[in-house]
């Protein structure tokens, strides 16, 4: 994780209670009442409970948690479709909770774009007219709308389908349109609430790859909600885990697999095949002898997964790996016992 990155979005002491007297009910929470008691005794829902988190610029920030844990409520605070009961949401340092209606409209159009789980395409508009929809709302010129929408049509692999209607497309193709429409708006923040969850596994995997490929170039702040841990581990630069409206842990895939904050997170990650996720960097010993014995040692990269390290060691019939960084400098070492510990942990 690049420590120099600025937070694009900062969420400060944010709580949300749904019901008729949210502020009053929040006092009960602050005095120690939990979500269940608040619901059974007072018919109010504690959806978010004192969330503090930063979402980094140019990163895919995943939000995970069981159904009802507050993921959608949280993402809807970022474009203020929902206003907090208490707390602040800062985007580029500006508190969006203090914006006027006009400022808020401009903010939503310019800075945020959304991809929906059910695609939310307009059925009577063609593919190209769906892609250009956000640009029309923004009031862009005809020339710009045409250029941008054709560009994004091509980037999501739908050239030739511009005149088709959504009903003539498969689910995966419809979501490509949804993605192109969101990207055409050229917003800094892309919000995706279970955007790939309705797709078949293979199509879903394709969409993840398209998103990852585009992100290497676009470098947007992507807030990505998912139920699926494999998806989170594959695409997230960082993952935040919510439980009952509380932020339990936020970290890289390796942080979460190696140091789960509590039993809830531990249960989440229990069935993951770690070898394809953990990186050499996270399991290596950074102490390298000044005069290492390089016999029977393979060289691996710090970004290699444990599976790749294992493969390198097995193919060279070796028990030791020297870990190098991008510049080829040795930064650590891994032996077969360390590998076994990482896999069995
Ligand atoms: N408008 C609302 N009015 C009352 N309660 C609400 C409202 N919206 C959400 N909630 C409640 O807030 C809590 C968090 O809901 P939210 O939709 O954010 O969960 P989620 O993590 O997105 O779940 P899912 O994975 O099922 O989409 C739930 O207990 C839900 O019932
Ligand atoms: Mg939801």
Distance 228 CA to ligand 2 centre (A): 13
Res 65: pLDDT: 92
CA of 221 to the centre of ligand 2 (A): 19
Pure H helices in the chain: 22-30, 35-42, 71-78, 101-111, 127-131, 133-138, 142-155, 171-184, 201-218, 229-235, 253-258, 263-269, 280-283, 306-315, 336-344
Contact 18/47 with Cβ under 8 angstroms?
A: yes
C-alpha 81 – ligand 1 centre gap (Å): 14
pLDDT, one tens digit per residue, over 94-116 is 999 999 999 999 999 889 999 99
Q: Which atom of ligand 1 is nearest to the CA of 70?
A: 18
Query: Is 22 close to ligand 1, i.e. is its CB under 6 Å away?
Result: no
Domains delineated in the chain: 57-76+96-274 (3.40.50.300), 280-344 (3.10.580.10)
pLDDT at 5 exceeding the cut of 70: no
65 lines ligand 1 (CB under 6 A): yes
Q: Over the stretch 22-77, which tens digit does the pLDDT of each residue have? A: 999 999 999 999 999 999 999 999 999 999 999 999 999 999 999 999 999 999 99
Query: Which amino acid residue places its CA nearest to atom 27 of ligand 1?
Result: 67
DSSP 166: G
Buried b (16+ CB within 10 A) or exposed e, 185-218: bbbbbbbbbbbbebbeeebbebbbebbeebbeee
Q: Is the pTM of this model over 0.85?
A: yes
- Tokens 């990482």 -> residue: 342
Question: Token pair of 165, please?
Answer: 């209607």
Phi then psi for 241, rounded to 5 degrees? Answer: -115, 125
**Confidence class of residue 292 from pLDDT cuts 50, 70 and 90?**
low
DSSP characters over 146-162: HHHHHHHHHHTT-TT-T
Q: Is the CB of 38 under 6 A from ligand 1?
A: no
Q: How far apart, in whole angstroms, are the C-alpha atoms of residue 139 and residue 146?
A: 13
Contact 299, 278 (CB under 8 A): no
List the end-to-end C-alpha distance of the chain, in Å, as a whole number: 23
Among 13-27, 144-158, 268-282, the least confident range: 268-282
Q: Which of the 8 DSSP states describes residue 5? A: P
Give yes or no for residue 172 CB within 6 A of ligand 1: no
236, 62 Cβ separation under 8 angstroms:
yes
Q: How far is CA 96 from CA 10, 56, 182, in A?
A: 11, 17, 21
Residue 82 CA: nearest ligand 1 atom is 1
Q: How far is the CA of 72 from the centre of ligand 2 (A)?
A: 4
The CA 8 to ligand 2 mean position distance, Å, reads 22
Q: Is the pLDDT of residue 155 over 70?
A: yes
In terms of Cα–Cα distance, which of 263, 248, 257, 241 is closest to 305?
A: 257
Predicted pLDDT of residue 1: 47
Q: Assess whether the C-beta atom of 69 lies below 6 angstroms from ligand 1.
A: yes
CA-closest residue to ligand 1 atom 18: 70
Q: Give the C-alpha separation, 240 to 263, whole Å.
A: 15
How far is ligand 1, taken at its centre, from the CA of residue 73, in Å?
Answer: 6
Confirm or reject: Cβ of 243 under 6 Å from ligand 1: no
């Amino acid at each position: 994780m690049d420590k120099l990155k600025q937070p694009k979005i900062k969420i400060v002491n944010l709580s949300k209670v749904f019901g008729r007297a949210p502020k009053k009910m929040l006092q009960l929470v602050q005095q120690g009442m939990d979500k269940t008691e608040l619901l059974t005794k007072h018919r109010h829902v504690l959806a978010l409970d004192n969330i503090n988190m930063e979402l980094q610029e140019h990163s895919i920030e995943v939000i995970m948690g069981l159904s009802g844990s507050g993921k959608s409520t949280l993402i809807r605070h970022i474009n203020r479709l929902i206003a907090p009961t208490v707390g602040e949401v800062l985007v580029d340092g500006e508190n969006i909770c203090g914006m006027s209606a006009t400022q808020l409209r401009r903010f939503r159009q310019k800075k945020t774009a959304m991809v929906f789980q059910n695609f939310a395409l307009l059925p009577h508009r063609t593919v190209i007219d769906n892609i250009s929809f956000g640009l029309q709302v923004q009031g862009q010129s005809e020339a710009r709308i045409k250029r941008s929408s054709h560009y994004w049509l091509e980037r999501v692999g739908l050239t030739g389908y511009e005149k088709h209607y959504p009903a003539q497309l498969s689910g995966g193709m419809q979501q490509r349109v949804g993605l192109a429409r969101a990207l055409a708006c050229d917003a800094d923040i892309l919000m995706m609430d279970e955007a790939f969850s309705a797709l078949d596994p293979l199509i879903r995997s394709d969409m993840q790859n398209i998103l990852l490929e585009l992100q290497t170039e676009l470098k947007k702040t992507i807030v990505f909600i998912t139920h699926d841990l494999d998806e989170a581990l594959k695409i997230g630069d960082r993952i935040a885990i919510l439980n009952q409206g509380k932020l339990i842990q936020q970290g890289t895939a390796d942080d979460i697999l190696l140091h789960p904050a509590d039993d809830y997170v531990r249960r989440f990650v229990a069935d993951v095949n770690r070898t394809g996720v953990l990186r050499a960097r996270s399991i290596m010993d950074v102490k390298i002898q000044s005069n290492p014995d390089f016999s029977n040692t393979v060289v691996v990269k710090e970004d290699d997964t444990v599976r790749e390290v294992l493969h390198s060691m097995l193919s060279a019939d070796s028990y030791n790996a020297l870990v190098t960084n991008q510049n080829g400098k040795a930064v650590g070492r891994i032996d077969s016992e360390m590998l076994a510990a990482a896999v069995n942990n």
